Structure 1
Amino acid sequence: MEINDLTPAETRVWHAFASGASVDFRATEDEDPADGASWGPERTVRASVLRALLLDGPQEDGRVAALSLAGARVTERLDLQYATVDHPVRLRHCYFEEEPRFYGARLRELNLSESVLPGLVSHAVRVEGVLRLTRARFSGMVRLAGAEVTGSLYLESTRIDAPDAEGPVLQLNQAVLGADLWAPGLRAGGEVRLTGARVAGTVNLTDAVLGRPGGTALHAETLSAEADVVLRRAEVRGRLELRGARIPGRLDLSHARLANPGGTALRASSCVIGELWLREGPVVQGALNLRRTQVDVLFLQPEVVPAWVQLNDLTYTSLVPHEPAERRLPMLEKGDSYLPFLYEQLTAAAYRRIGDDDAARSVQLAKQRRRRRTLPWYGRLWGHLQDVTVGYGFRPVRAGGWLFSLLAAGALVYGLHHPPALKPDEAPDFNPVFYTLDLLLPVISFGQEAAFSPRGWYQTLSYVLVVTGWILATTVITGLTRTVSRQ
């Protein structure tokens, strides 16, 4: 391109490029680049001029050439597909009439911060440094699928509003980032796709607002982040999809608002997560799916658990904060079937681990009561009897109360009306207390039951005491056996 063909604004940019100097067309630092369509020729630069500079622009000896431009209106399309650009590209506070294309390009640095663009096409781009889109505003799709950035990708307070987009408005699927995905305050009116992305640092979506009601707002299946994934105070309207993610650090959903009524709000199944924090926020609107996930520390407050959860084969080493069993048990009742493993997991990770045996017994008792609902009528009847008498063996003190009451009743009745002896000459002296104990305790004999034989309803009472004693003894032995086997 001949320099004589350039406008005064373009000539200024051309001369500044060789030395890496910055050109700023802004009248004030707080002007809005959204008004760029009205900017005149004094601050208008053709994209073909920028392309010519980046591919074959002048350079000064001893200086680093760079395109550093602010406050410009860029006409035409900046097309650098498959190009190799060895110079930093900084186009801040600019207004683009057409979406730039960096498909398959190799760049040293790309900075489009605070600019207004109709979209961005940068599939498979490679940036040897950082890619900055801080506070940029897009009215179309941002395509970065398969991008490779050796440094960080910055999307702080970036806004993407693409109501007519036929697909995800932000595409980062299969992207590889050598550092962080730094996007606090990101606003995306559509699906954000991170499927298969690999991030060597942290995925920071603090205060982000992601909206695709009725669909998937954040699609991050098999995401691999080597540090944390942070969505503190984020608002996600639609499904948060994390199936198969690998997050050795923390998945932080503290103070987050997850809403997908009628569907799944959070699907983090088949994941491996160091710490999962779901706390200090409103109740999740929609289902919570943590099936087959492995978590070291599950920080889950009962207040945020929704009405429907799927926890099949969820394993965790510890559950915090410490809550009474009565506050944890409703979570296990919200699934679609009886899953004994959930009760065992809660007992081991939340209560036995810290020595809270009372809470552990409460969970085991709840497990038996839930199981009872799956049994036929005769099993349920026997279960109710075990529950009332000794709490399935987890309430042994209750058995002592029943035995003491029956002993007192039997001793009183038989003390007032002694049963006749079978062999008066050989029978020992009658003792109503030990006679009743003989009836109640099947494995102990004081010689009273064999020596005396009641008549009429007193005999019926003896049968009741014998049967009741067997029931109590059986349930107590069952409970003791269960308790010993858990130790």
Structure 2
Amino acid sequence: METNELTAAEERVWRAFPRGEAVDFRETSEDDPAEGEHWGPGRTLRAEVLRALLLDGPRQDGEIPSLNLAGARITGRLDLQYATVDHPVRLRHCHFDEAPRCYAARLRELNLSESVLPGLVAHAVQVDGVMRLTRARCHGVVRMGGARITGSLYLEGAHVAAPGGEEPVLQLNQAAVGADLWAPGLRTHGQIRLNGATVAGSVNLNEARLSRPEGAALDAETFAVGGDMLVRYAEVRGWTGLRGARIAGRLDLSYTLLSSPGGSALRAGSTTIGELWLRKGPPLEGALNLRRAQVEVLYLEPESVPDEVLLGELTYTSLVPHEPAERRLPMLERERDGHVPHAYEQLTSSYRRVGDDHAARLVQLAKQRRRRQTLPWYGRLWGLVQDVTVGYGFRPLRAAGWLLSLLALGSVTYALHHPQPLKAGEAPPFSPVFYTLDLLLPVISFGQDSAFAPHGWYQLLAYVLVLTGWILATTVIAGVTRTVSRQ
């Protein structure tokens, strides 16, 4: 391009480029790029001029060229499709009339911070450094599917929205970020798509405001994070999808509102997470789906549990904070799929791991009671008898109480009505207490039950004592055995 074809503003940028000097067209630091369409020719640049600079601009010996400008209005489309640009591209506080196109381009650095853009086309872009959209305002779709960024991607304070809302407004599916995805304070009106993306470092979405109430606000299926994923003090309206994601560190949703009424607010089935934190925030507005998830540490406060959960095949090593079983059990009763024995076993294991045997027994008792609701009437009736009498074997002291009561009943009854000896003159002296003990205890024998034979109603009572004695004594022995084995 001939320099005599340049405007004064373009010539100024052309001269600064070989030496990498910054050009700032702003009149004050308060200039708003949103008003850029009204900026005059003194700060207006044609996109074709910038393209010519980046692809074949002048060089100066001993200097490192770069495009470094701020406060300009860029007319036309900045088209770098398939281009290889060896210089940093810094276009800050700028107003773009058309969405830049960097499809499959290879860049050293791309900085569009605090600029206003009608969108960005950067599928399969490769950035050998960092890419910055800090506090940028995009009024169209940002397409970065398949991008490769060796450094970090900065989106802190950025605002992305698009009319229509049919396609994701921020597309990072299959992207690979070599360091961090840094986006605290991000604002989106539409879906963020991170399907299949990988971030070697951490993801920061603290204080983000993501909104797509009728669908997915954050769709990150099979998303992989090498560090932590922080979503603290955020607000997500629309469901958050993490199915099949792998987060090596902590997924921190503390102080965050997740809202998707009528559906699942958090869909994290089949995920692998180091630590999952759901704490200090309002209850999820929508279901919590953790089916088949694998979590090392599940930090879940009872107050954060929504009215509906899906916990089938969820496995976790630790459940914190430590809460009484009475505060944890309502979570399992909210299971959408009904009775899920595995969820009770997981909660039991977590209590036993920290030595809280009492809580573990309460969970097992609740499991049997929940199962009873799924049985036919005769099964429910038998289960109710087991519950009332021995607490399904998890309350052995109750069984001991029944044994003592039956011992008293039998002793009094047979003291008033002695059974007849089987062989007169050979039977030992009759003892109503030891006779009743012989009937109740299946192992110990005092020689009374084999020497005397009751008749009529008293014989029926003897049969009842034998049957209940077997059941209750077995329950007591099992309870003692469990206690001893745990110790």
* TM interval, short-chain normalised: over 0.9
Indicate the SS of the match to 1:45: strand
Residue segments in structure 2 that go unaligned for 5+ positions in a row: none
Percent identity between the aligned chains? 71
Matches within 5 A, 1:190-339: 190-335=190-335, 336-339=337-340
Contact 1:325 1:359 in 2 (8 A): yes
Using a 3 Å threshold, how does the CA distance of structure 1 residues 165 and 399 change in structure 2: closer, same or farther? closer
Higher mean C-alpha deviation, range 150-159 or range 332-341? 332-341
What is residue 97 of structure 2 aligned with on the other side? Answer: 97
Partner amino acid, structure 1, of 2:317: T
Deviations along 1:156-202, whole A, 9 cap, x unmatched?
01001213243100000111111111001100100000111111111
Q: TM-score, normalising length from structure 2?
A: 0.95
CA distance in 2, matches of 1:351, 1:201: 33
**1:128-139 matches, cutoff 5 A:** 128-139=128-139
Q: Secondary structure at the match of 2:275?
A: strand
Aligned to 1:37: 37
**Residues in 1 aligned to 2:312 and 2:420: alpha-carbon distance in whole angstroms:** 62
Alpha-carbon shift at residue 26 of structure 1 (Å):
0.9
Query: 2:342 and 2:485 mapped to 1: Cα distance?
Result: 16
Contact 1:114 1:137 in 2 (8 A): yes
Structure 1: stretches of 5+ with no match in the other structure: none
- How far residue 415 of structure 1 moved from its aligned partner, in angstroms, is 2.8
> Which structure 2 residues correspond to residues 7-406 of structure 1 after superposition, within 5 A?
7-335=7-335, 336-348=337-349, 350-406=350-406
- State the superposition RMSD in angstroms: 1.9
Q: Tell me the distance in 2 between the aligned counterparts of 1:222 and 1:98.
A: 33
Q: Secondary structure at the match of 1:86?
A: strand
Q: Deviations over 1:123-171 (max 9, x none)?
A: 1111111100000001000011111111100000100121324310000
Q: CA deviation at 1:382?
A: 2.0
How far is 1:238 from its partner? 0.9
Q: CA deviation at 1:427?
A: 2.8
The 5 A counterparts of 1:441-452 are 441-452=441-452
Quote the Cα distance in structure 1 between the aligned partners of 2:124 and 2:451. 96
Counterpart of 1:438?
438
Distance apart, 1:460 and its partner CA: 4.2
Amino acid at match of 2:412: L
User: Secondary structure at 2:196's aligned position in 1?
Assistant: coil
> Which whole-Å deviations, capped at 9, do the CAs of 1:207-243 have from their partners, x for residues lacking one?
1111111201111111111111111112111111111
Separation (CA, whole Å) in 2 of partners of 1:443 and 1:376: 34
**Alpha-carbon contact 1:216-1:241 (below 8 Å) kept:** yes
The alpha-carbon deviation at position 409 of structure 1 amounts to: 2.5
Q: Identify the range of structure 1 (384-393 vs 451-460) with the bigger mean alpha-carbon deviation.
A: 451-460
Tell whether the 8 Å contact from 1:393 to 1:480 is kept in structure 2 after alignment: no
Question: Partners of 1:130 and 1:226 in 2: how far apart?
Answer: 18
Matches within 5 A, 1:440-479: 440-455=440-455, 457-476=457-476
**Is the contact made by 1:386 and 1:475 (CA closer than 8 Å) also made in structure 2?**
no
The equivalent residue for 1:413 is 413
Counterpart amino acid of residue 353 in structure 2: R
Give the Cα–Cα distance (whole angstroms) in 2 for the partners of residues 63 and 164 of structure 1: 47
2:27 aligned counterpart, secondary structure: coil
Aligned partners of 1:209 and 1:234 also within 8 Å = yes
